[in-house]
Amino acid sequence: MCSENEICFNDFKNRIMNSDKNHLWGGRFNEPTEEFVKIFGASISFDKILALYDIEGSQAHATMLSEVGVLTSNELKQISEGLDQIKHEITNDQFEWSVDLEDVHMNIEARLTEICGDPGKKLHTGRSRNDQVATDIRLYLRDQVRNITTEIERLLNALLDLADQEKETIMPGFTHLQAAQPVSFGHHLLAYFEMFKRDHERLQDGYKRINTMPLGSGALAGTSYPINRERTAEILGFERICLNSIDAVSDRDFAIEFAANASLIMMHLSRFSEELIQWSSAQFDFISLPDSFCTGSSIMPQKKNPDVPELVRGKAGRVNGNLVALLTLMKGQPLAYNKDNQEDKEPLFDTVETLHACLHVFADMVPTIQSKKENMYQSALKGHTTATDLADYLVKKGMTFRDAHEIVGKAVSYAINENKDLSELSLKELKVFDSSIESDVFDAISLEGSLNARNHLGGTSPKQVSLAINAGRKSIK
Ligand code: ARG
């Protein structure tokens, strides 16, 4: 027993050594962590997804440490074997994750020490969880961008194949959701090809910034060990190295950029979804989706609902939400690392999984889209969609565009009264509006004529659509 006012060193030591503290950082703590705080602060339930990347980073770090003489080759061997064993345990679902050990990094390190003793305790030399976690996320995202790229490429190819089948199919093109001018269905599909191609480009561009290595930045200020960052980067296949240790552990802009790119892709998928939903309704009846991509109603026996595009349209909302969450999480954080950053993982992982699934299902579904060509054609005959062509025809005969616009307006009004489409008026009827109109007018105002006339780069003539498909194929090779 210690007398009052006397510092009883042994008592104090016993208390702190035996308390239920975190063994990886508990040295300066006198009290154990409050039970709920442990759960509240733990990320293991979601960051264990990073486990294999964490091991990959640790292997590279240990190899580099042994090369610069901080670890002996025997220590490296024990660490490597231990990490291999842990990898085996994780992939075979034999690893016991513990909330007490907070996160994936400490779970793995603690197990390594259990397996190989002191060398395990040396692995964290010259490293902090701050540069470790930033590295893990980049390794993870790098892989995921590659997987997502494969899916976008499948979708791009599916769009080209479908556009090729549909280059001669005529449908109404819309502005304000009013029939505007006839277009080739293939051309319409190629509009999505262009969008997803820009998305593909953006992902590849962002990849450079993801593929940059923070390891070696320590907690924030670097490390006093003679590390060789170029070597670690080489082992991990990083193209570049973060050039400022404070920035490296703190910013998550590479992940936010990915989330922004993901939002753009989802926005494009959502627009495409919306059109597929409209087109497969009885009111449009332009396409049919196979039963395998639709579901029925539990009450209305006649229903066939386009669930897949509807879900994709809905999921665009959560991906946007994740982007806003990440931006808001980062905004206002002082340098360098703050625990706020632990909150980057769930929105990022959810974005990756959602985006991957949506692209995957679309790449599978696009080849199954069946166009209803006759319905599309008949629909293009409603709405006087070649009125601009008639005006252009009159301009070519010498009239000013404004006068031509006025005359065609009158012709449209006449056609409405006659319950016909402008393109269905006879030469005799048309001549009433201007005597310069000859029989060649039908090359201009028929749906086919209207399409064929738009024979320039980026135009909707079947010839140009065919050229665009060839160019598209080359561009994604
Ligand atoms: N689990 C943490 C995260 O996800 C790892 C880094 C912890 N660093 C720290 N200084 N507490 O961000």
| Ligand 1 nearest-atom number relative to CA 219 | 10
Percent of the chain clearing pLDDT 70 (strictly above): 95
- pLDDT score for 298: 79
Asked if 246 and 220 count as a contact pair (C-beta separation under 8 A), the reply is yes
pLDDT at 53 over 90: yes
- pLDDT score for 303: 74
Query: What's the rounded Cα separation, in Å, for the pair 318 and 263?
Result: 9
Amino acid type, 158: A
Among 15-29, 126-140, 196-210, 383-397, whose mean pLDDT is lowest?
Answer: 15-29
Query: What's the rounded Cα separation, in Å, for the pair 254 and 391?
Result: 51
DSSP 3: P
- pLDDT score for 262: 99
pLDDT band at residue 234 under the 50/70/90 scheme: very high
pLDDT at 130 over 90: yes
Neighbour tally for 446: CB within 10 Å: 18
pLDDT band at residue 2 under the 50/70/90 scheme: very low
Distance 250 CA to ligand 1 centre (A): 11
3-state secondary structure the chain: CCCCCCCCHHHHHHHHHHCCCCCCCHHHCCCCCCHHHHHHHCCHHHHHHHHHHHHHHHHHHHHHHHHCCCCCHHHHHHHHHHHHHHHHHHHCCCCCCCHHHCCHHHHHHHHHHHHHCHHHHHCCCCCCHHHHHHHHHHHHHHHHHHHHHHHHHHHHHHHHHHHHHCCCCEEEEEECCEEEEEEEHHHHHHHHHHHHHHHHHHHHHHHHHHCEECCCCCCCCCCCCCCCHHHHHHHHCCCEECCCHHHHHHCCHHHHHHHHHHHHHHHHHHHHHHHHHHHCCCCCCCEECCHHHCECCCCCCCCCECHHHHHHHHHHHHHHHHHHHHHHHHCCCCCCCCHHHHHHHHHHHHHHHHHHHHHHHHHHHHHHCEECHHHHHHHHCCCCCCHHHHHHHHHHCCCCHHHHHHHHHHHHHHHHHHCCCHHHCCHHHHHCCCCCCCCCHHHHHCHHHHHHHCCCCCCCCHHHHHHHHHHHHHHCC
pLDDT band at residue 10 under the 50/70/90 scheme: low
Q: What is the pLDDT of residues 81-128, one digit of tens each?
A: 999 999 999 999 999 999 999 999 999 999 999 999 999 999 999 999
pLDDT at 280 over 80: yes
DSSP 295: B
Query: What's the rounded Cα separation, in Å, for the pair 327 and 88?
Result: 36
pLDDT band at residue 246 under the 50/70/90 scheme: very high
Catalytic residues: 176, 297
The whole-number average pLDDT for the span 332-338 is 98
- pLDDT score for 8: 47
Query: What's the rounded Cα separation, in Å, for the pair 217 and 246?
Result: 7
Using a 10 angstrom Cβ sphere, with 0-12 exposed, 13-18 middle and 19 or more buried, the burial of residue 187 is buried
Percent of the chain clearing pLDDT 90 (strictly above): 89
Q: What is the pLDDT of residues 191-211, one digit of tens each?
A: 999 999 999 999 999 999 999
The whole-number average pLDDT for the span 256-260 is 98
Q: What is the pLDDT of residues 342-393, one digit of tens each?
A: 999 999 999 999 999 999 999 999 999 999 999 999 999 999 999 999 999 9
What is the best residue among 44, 342, 344, 345 to mutate for testing ligand 1's pocket, by most ligand atoms within 8 Å of CB?
Answer: 342
pLDDT band at residue 15 under the 50/70/90 scheme: very low
Query: What's the rounded Cα separation, in Å, for the pair 38 and 70?
Result: 33
Q: Which structural domains are found in the chain, ordered by start?
A: 11-122 (1.10.275.10), 136-377 (1.20.200.10), 378-475 (1.10.40.30)
Distance 342 CA to ligand 1 centre (A): 6
Pocket of ligand 1 from Cβ distances under 6 Å: 43, 47, 103, 129-130, 133, 337, 339, 341-342
Q: What is the pLDDT of residues 282-294, one digit of tens each?
A: 999 999 998 888 8
In the predicted model, what is the mean pLDDT of the chain?
94
Q: Any idea what the Cα angle at residue 430 is, between residues 396 and 447, rounded to 5°?
A: 70
pLDDT at 160 over 80: yes
pLDDT at 55 over 80: yes
What is the best residue among 28, 103, 124, 329 to mutate for testing ligand 1's pocket, by most ligand atoms within 8 Å of CB?
Answer: 103
